[in-house]
Homo-oligomer: A and B are copies of this chain.
Amino acid sequence: MTHPAEIKALVFDVFGTIVDWRSGVARGAAAFLDRYAPALDPYAFADAWRAEYSPSMEEIRSGRRRYVRLDVLHRENLVRTLDRYGIVDVPDADIDALNLAWHRLDPWPDAVAALHRLKRRFIIAPLSNGNIRLMVDVAKRAGLPWDAILGAEVVRAYKPSPQVYSDTVEILSVAPAELCLVAAHNGDLAAARRLGLSTAFVLRPTEHGPGQTTDLQADDAWDFDVKDLNELADRLGCPD
């Protein structure tokens, strides 16, 4: 197990771990759907759009496609989702506007205060598949006090490709165990651990809504296993 004193920097998954993407995307989609598909539930629409997320990145992770940033994938996935629902003749400007729903996601209630606590003692940065501008827009709106924006666009690869974790260790000039990934997703933590990073699981039991069936507990003996980010700050000895 990693001793808290060893850690120098914390990097965070963002979608699901720091912000509630499902509610935010559903909120962003509601006015759009009122106009184009009033019978559709915005949460079902958010889930359908999100279902395209991992397959679209897999094209790049597998090497079949060169890196493009997540804003581009989100828009392609949105067009595919609209097609599937038979929502047609939508002006490009309305598609572009809806795509920005991902730039306006709310943080979980503990996130802002806990990140301020952690920032006093550690370097803190997102390690998200979201691109830099998306991360900046979310952070400015929500008040997330990041020290830097790291992640997919900086290394031009998508998690859980090993390069994302190893290049981030290199960028931060730390030993792998001195960098802790904080995530609500066991798969992300498993990939980080394979590169020697420290790991912290934070429980987000409603990321996928009230019927969530995945990531309801730590699947492995991660270095930290906490119910929210304030508990992580406590465990790492950060004052209130």
Q: Which residues of A contact B (CB under 8 A)?
A: 71, 123, 131-133, 135-136, 139-140, 146-150, 153-154, 171-173
Contacts and interface: CB of A to CB of B under 8 A. Distances in A.
Contact of A171 (B150, B153, B171, B173): B153
Interface-central residue, A131, A153, A154, by most chain B CB under 10 Å: A154
Given A148-B149, A149-B149, A154-B154, A173 B133 contact: yes
Number of copies: 2
A173 B139 contact: no
Contacts of A172: 132-133
A42 B154 CA distance: 36
Contacts of A71: 173
Contact of A148 (B136, B171, B173): B136
A76 B28 CA distance: 51
A123 B147 contact: no
Contact of A147 (B140, B150, B153, B173): B140
Given A171-B132, A173-B71, A140 B123 contact: yes
A151 to B, nearest CB: 11
Nearest to A125: B136
Given A136-B147, A148-B149, 15 more contacts: A71-B173, A123-B136, A131-B171, A132-B148, A132-B154, A132-B171, A132-B172, A133-B172, A133-B173, A139-B147, A140-B147, A147-B149, A148-B148, A153-B154, A153-B171
